[in-house]
Amino acid sequence: MKISAEVKVILKDDIKDPAGLAVENILKRTNIDAESSVRTGKFFSIKTFAQNRIEAMEKINKICTEVLTNPNLEQYEIIRIKEE
């Protein structure tokens, strides 16, 4: 079956995110919202094929752990996985 998945990759909580901090500073300076805490990350949309849902999950997890994330720095979350 045809699979489409969406994955979010974000730095681990204890790794400082300078891009997120830059956005926070802008929010403070412009008075848009002084209280926001912002973390930035990456989004991936993946289309593939699998025999069933279990195999689909295995494939997406393998792609995430071996290519999309560095386990020393980042964590990922499969936001959505569905049959097309």
Give the residue, chosen from 27, 68, 78, 81, that forms a contact with other proteins under the rule CB under 8 A.
68
Q: How many Å apart are CA 34 and CA 32, to the nearest integer?
A: 7
Backbone angles phi, psi at 29, to 5 degrees: -65, -35
Give the residue, chosen from 30, 32, 67, 84, that forms a contact with other proteins under the rule CB under 8 A.
67
Decide if 83 contacts 5 (C-beta within 8 A). no
Least distance in Å: CB of 30 to other proteins?
18
Least distance in Å: CB of 84 to other proteins?
24
> 49 by DSSP, 3-state: which?
strand
Amino acid at 42: K
Give the residue, chosen from 1, 2, 19, 58, that forms a contact with other proteins under the rule CB under 8 A.
19
Least distance in Å: CB of 9 to other proteins?
9
